Structure 1
């Protein structure tokens, strides 16, 4: 159910694309070709870019998120699927805007 929520919300953001470059079980959401969200079908949650390792550590310390298994130490965390939809939506939007602003600023 949450996977569908993510897909519907992310699809509505300008310039986004849903891709499966690692196979159908791994969904990557990008904005203008840059990843801002990822999940594994049937997995434990949604990985989002938070922007700083400090913010990521804070969210993990508060038990609102866990360290992303594949993106450790890079400002990414995994929000479990039991995260309230409104909070998940807010973090998706923040991740999207962060990646979009990095892209516009010329970051790799």
Structure 2
């Protein structure tokens, strides 16, 4: 999977916005101002949020990804050459986790996710 494909997937999530908060060419995807996916300048993969440190560790132990550098331990870095369905799934899960953490008022303003 490529950076462009990941960006295309993320762009389809309701309310998702692309930014470069760190400068230098990072693709940081946010919903409600909170990041749910980030592709670094090294272009080796995408970092996504999981629901817990334990889930992230389980995915690391299963060989799905590695610890996301510079992120909390509940984030995982998925390689671009990993399983495409797994990448799509993890992007969606990360988006859902972050969106669910937004205020109810902000969530109500967003269109539903299909």
Using the size of structure 1 for normalisation, the TM-score is: 0.89
**Counterpart contact for 1:3–1:41, Cα < 8 Å:** no
The verdict on how the C-alpha distance between 1:82 and 1:14 changes in structure 2, with shifts beyond 3 A counting, is same
Matched with 2:49 is 49
SS at match of 1:22: coil
Residues 20-39 of structure 1 aligned to structure 2 (within 5 Å):
20-39=20-39
The worse-fitting range, judged by mean Cα deviation, of 17-26 and 45-54 is: 17-26
Q: Which runs of 5+ in 1 are unaligned?
A: none
Listed one character per residue, the Cα deviations across residues 69-106 of structure 1 (whole Å, up to 9, x for unaligned) are 11142x10000111122211110000000000011369
Tell me the distance in 1 between the aligned counterparts of 2:103 and 2:8. Answer: 24
Matched with 1:102 is 101
Q: Once superposed, what is the RMSD of the aligned Cα atoms?
A: 1.6
Q: Which 4+ residue blocks in structure 1 deviate beyond 2 angstroms?
A: none
Residues 1-108 of structure 1 aligned to structure 2 (within 5 Å):
2-73=2-73, 75-104=74-103
Tell me the distance in 1 between the aligned counterparts of 2:34 and 2:72. Answer: 18
The structure whose RCO (Cα within 8 Å, separation 6+) is larger is 2
Using the size of structure 2 for normalisation, the TM-score is: 0.85
